[in-house]
Amino acid sequence: MSAPVFAELTVGDEVATRSFVFVRDTLVRYAGASGDFNPIHYRDDVAQSVGLPGVLAHGMLTMGAAGSVATDWLGAAGWVRDYQVRFTRPVPVDGAAGAEVVVTATVGALDAEARTARIDLKVVFAEQTVLGKSQLLVQFP
């Protein structure tokens, strides 16, 4: 894949898509890396005791995975000036099947004077959006 060129981008372009499968091992590893050992991320009994359907993926794990789709597409062609999301739905991670999250990155807006592109991320689990208003502001030199 070649590096993106600002002048060749058009609003509405789908620039990248990828799916991630989170399994319980993923959650344990993320807990160790992040220091977030809340048991709702690895124990069904605790998650269910607080009214959840079962173990949930960490919100920041989902956010980081989603953002990586855009940053991998961008490569060294520019840098991220801003990244924000709204956590709209949890991602339950089944003990056997895991959870597949699909991320699609699309050019949402361009500012020719500032040489920035807003990259909108559609982040879906089980046909429902799990991160709302997920957007990166990308700066091109």
* Residue located via tokens 């091992």: 25
Is the pLDDT at 130 greater than 80? The verdict is: yes
pLDDT digits (tens, 9 = 90+) for 21-47: 999 999 999 999 999 999 999 999 999
Which domains, from first to last, does the chain contain? 6-139 (3.10.129.10)
Paired strand residues for 17: 104
Residue 71: Cβ within 10 Å count: 18
Residue range 5-12: mean pLDDT, rounded? 98
pLDDT digits (tens, 9 = 90+) for 49-87: 999 999 999 999 999 999 999 999 999 999 999 999 999
Query: Residue 73: its pLDDT value, please?
Result: 98
Is the pLDDT at 125 greater than 80? The verdict is: yes
* SS3 at position 8: helix
* Residue located via tokens 């124990």: 43
Whole-prediction pTM: 0.94
Percent of the chain at pLDDT above 90?
A: 99
Q: Which is it for the CA torsion 126, 127, 129, 135, positive or negative? A: positive
* CB environment 104-130: b (16+ within 10 A), e (fewer): bbbbbebeeeeebbbbbbbbbbeeeeb
